[in-house]
Amino acid sequence: MKIHAILLAVLLAVPLLPGMTRAAETGQALKADVLRSTPYSDARTTGAIVRGETLQILAKKGAWLNVKTAKRASGWVRLLSVRRGTAGSGSPARGVLDVASGRAGTGRIVATTGVRGLNEEELKGAQYNAAEVKTLDGYAQTPKQGEQFARRGGLRAVKFAYLPEPRGKGGRR
């Protein structure tokens, strides 16, 4: 009983500790895919993942993630086949925080939430700000300045066609 209580306390505390969140990155397979020995599409297959499976993410290289499954299979899988989700980030931690701060259900509205989001009423009531538009104009770059900036970073324009719409998905849905 006591052990359970301690375990629970640890579980609740972990998401609250900043910096620990990166330690155990997990993800979830968005679709079935194969694991490969190296991050190349023609590399040897080392295993497979099924949709919804939880994966441990070990490394990232370009379009590939090195992952490990619960069954200890490991290998490289395409980045887009996995939804990355770090244990302790996002809403779970938030939920715990809300409970801890008494924000959940006590009616105590806490100002620490800070900034409110941009909401519909706020946007609707927004008034044209001529001074800011002018300031924005002042930062504009010419096409030539854009090129010079790219060159300084070693960027080179590449010919590449727009990606076609996936087949069988024509029109609005």
Partner 1 sequence: MKHLRMLGFLLGLLLAVCVLPAEALDLGETLKGVVTGGTAVTTGKTGEAPPKAEAVPGEGQPAFSLKSPSQEQEIEIGREIAGNLLGAAPLVGDAALQTYVNQVGRWVANQSERADLPWRFGVIESEDINAFAAPGGYVLVTRGLYRRLENEAQLAGVLSHEIAHVVRSHHLKILKQSQLLDIGAGWVGKRVGTDREILRKVIGSGAEICARGLDRSAEFEADRMGVALTVRAGYEPYGLPEVLQTIGQTGRDESRVALLFKTHPHPDDRLVELDEAIGNRLDAVRGGKTLGNRFYRLKP
Which 69-108 residues touch partner 1, going by CB under 8 A? 78-81, 83-87, 89-92, 94-95
Is residue 19 part of the contact set for partner 1 (CB under 8 A)? no
Using CB under 8 A, which residues numbered 115 to 144 contact partner 1? 115-120, 122-130, 132-133, 135-137, 139-143
Is residue 112 part of the contact set for partner 1 (CB under 8 A)? no
Is residue 13 part of the contact set for partner 1 (CB under 8 A)? no
CA distance 23 to 13: 15
Is residue 3 part of the contact set for partner 1 (CB under 8 A)? no
Length of the chain counted residue by residue = 173
Is residue 110 part of the contact set for partner 1 (CB under 8 A)? no
CA distance 79 to 156: 24
Among 1, 5, 70, 158, binds partner 1 (CB under 8 A): 158
Q: Is 52 helix (H, G, I), strand (E, B) or coil?
A: coil
Is residue 34 part of the contact set for partner 1 (CB under 8 A)? no
Tokens of 10: 């640890």
CA distance 52 to 29: 5
For residue 149, the minimal CB distance to partner 1 (Å) is 4
Written as one letter, the residue type at 129 is N
Sequence-distant (6+) residues with CB within 8 A of 83 are 27, 28, 29, 30
